[in-house]
Structure 1
Amino acid sequence: MKVCNDGFERKFIEEKSDMYAIAFTQNVLSGRWKYFILWYLKGTTRRYSDIKTFLGDLSQGSLTKQLKELESDGVIKREVYPVVPPKVEYSLTEKGNKLMPILDMMEKFGTEYGVESNKQT
């Protein structure tokens, strides 16, 4: 599998469509904070400052990068209001909402097996 600057190679997409589908989804979700951002936006609209507070020690630059990538991939929507001070809100798009079952399954798996794997022996 080869990923180039413009995405995946056409040959890979055509010959390995099942692997491409997984790789595409992984690419959309890649990034340390994207899962948490999407989960936090689940079912509600949030201001930038709320997301920043929720994620704690994450730098402004890192958060902005993750949000821009999610917006570029079409899974979140950014709305800027013409007020002072600036007001920016983020919400899930239809495409973003379709990722929620994946996060729900990850939560379920982690709930079931996460504690087990972190037990002190």
Structure 2
Amino acid sequence: MVTKQYTGSPEEAADLRRADSLGREIFSDVANKWALLIIEALGERTLRFSELRNEVEGVSHKMLTQNLRMLERNGLVERKVHPTVPPRVEYTLTEPGLGLRATVDGMCAWTHRYVRHIEDSRRRFDAPAPAPE
């Protein structure tokens, strides 16, 4: 991962409308399905890698590893390695990660509330057009 070094003001750095903003880069990192699901799964619990993989159904070992590293790099997840044989690695949300979780929880609630509406809209949109008379 290559990160641009941003030298502008904090307001410019956080402006998602600017192509060169750090805010846009952060948004791009965390606004993917795996990152959101990992944040939701961790909640306020500490989980081992295998537990997290079981919680996030369908995620591959590679994608879980990549997303955990990205979340750790951005300071949203803390990784703790216990010096045992074999090593035990645990993941937990940091304070900023917990703050983001509140937003993720809101998105999950929105999804539950509108899933039927979206299913109905997709069905109507995808239906074949009526034949001309």
Which shifted more, 58-67 or 25-34?
Answer: 25-34
Q: 1:47 to 1:9 in 2, by over 3 A?
A: same
Q: Which consecutive segments of 4 or more residues in structure 1 shift more than 3 A?
A: 7-11, 15-22
AA aligned opposite 2:45: T
Structure showing greater relative contact order (alpha-carbon pairs closer than 8 Å, 6 or more residues apart): 1
Q: 1:74 to 1:114 in 2, by over 3 A?
A: same
Q: 1:17 to 1:26 in 2, by over 3 A?
A: closer
Structure 1 vs Structure 2 CA RMSD = 2.8
Which shifted more, 102-111 or 62-71?
Answer: 102-111
CA distance in 2, matches of 1:86, 1:79: 10
More strand by share: 1
Extract unaligned runs of 5+ from structure 2.
Answer: 125-133
Q: What is aligned with 1:26?
A: 27
SS across alignment from 2:33? coil
**Native 8 Å contact 2:14 2:23 kept in 1:** no
Alignment of 1:17 onto 2:9: no
Q: 1:24 to 1:105 in 2, by over 3 A?
A: farther
TM-score (norm: length of structure 2): 0.73
Q: 1:117 to 1:65 in 2, by over 3 A?
A: same
Alignment of 1:53 onto 2:51: no
Q: 1:56 to 1:101 in 2, by over 3 A?
A: closer
Extract unaligned runs of 5+ from structure 1.
Answer: none
CA distance in 2, matches of 1:18, 1:63: 26
AA aligned opposite 2:115: G
Q: 1:5 to 1:74 in 2, by over 3 A?
A: closer
Alignment of 1:37 onto 2:35: no
Q: Deviations over 1:27-72 (max 9, x none)?
A: 3413330000000010110010001122233221111111000000
TM-score (norm: length of structure 1): 0.79
